[in-house]
Amino acid sequence: MGGILDAARELVLGEGLRAATVDRIVVASGAPKGSIYHRFGTVDDLLATMWLRAVRASQARFLASLEGEDAVTVGVAAALSLYDFAREEPDDAALLILLRQQDVGRHLRDEELSRQLATVNSPLERGLEDLATRLHGRATRAAVEQTVLAVVDLPLGAIRRHLLVRRPPPPDLREPLGRAVRAALQPA
């Protein structure tokens, strides 16, 4: 299954979402057309599965980094997990920069896949609310926004331009990114 999803990802990254047709995925992956339809049902289900695989891999790192005593240190680790994911898995990271949930969830046939897509961000949202509570005493709207700005928006902004040209972010970006996130998390 991984080869099929990788082939679809490569088509999307190279030529856009509409380039990932079943016929082109068959050619790129070498998988029989019947196998693709048997495993995924539709190309939309395949693309949603591809996107979910990338989201789950990124989120697993992010959520694992939320363990620890000092909330600021945990926040920096969470932010840097996004950078590390982009360094180690640049194709999946680029996919997440290019595609949004609604891009892959419009015409799904598989109801379970639709449910997974609808709830995939729930653990991340809970983790960010918990971190906001640890940093600010409460998970107010402003506290959550400030937390998301520091640990999600800041690292994604730093890595985005590199991923858009299909390059992992440079190694020397990690340290200044960590300092910037730490500064953004410090109380005013």
pLDDT of 105 reads 86
Domain positions in the chain are: 55-185
Rounded to an integer, the average pLDDT of 108-128 is: 96
Q: Is pLDDT of 188 > 70? A: no
pLDDT digits (tens, 9 = 90+) for 11-65: 999 999 999 999 999 999 999 999 999 999 999 999 999 999 999 999 999 999 9
Above 90 in pLDDT, residue 132? yes
Q: How far apart are CA 77 and CA 70, in angstroms?
A: 11
Mean per-residue pLDDT of the chain? 95
pLDDT at 107: 87
Question: How far apart are the C-alpha atoms of 56 and 121, rounded to whole Å?
Answer: 9
Paired tokens of 137: 């005493």
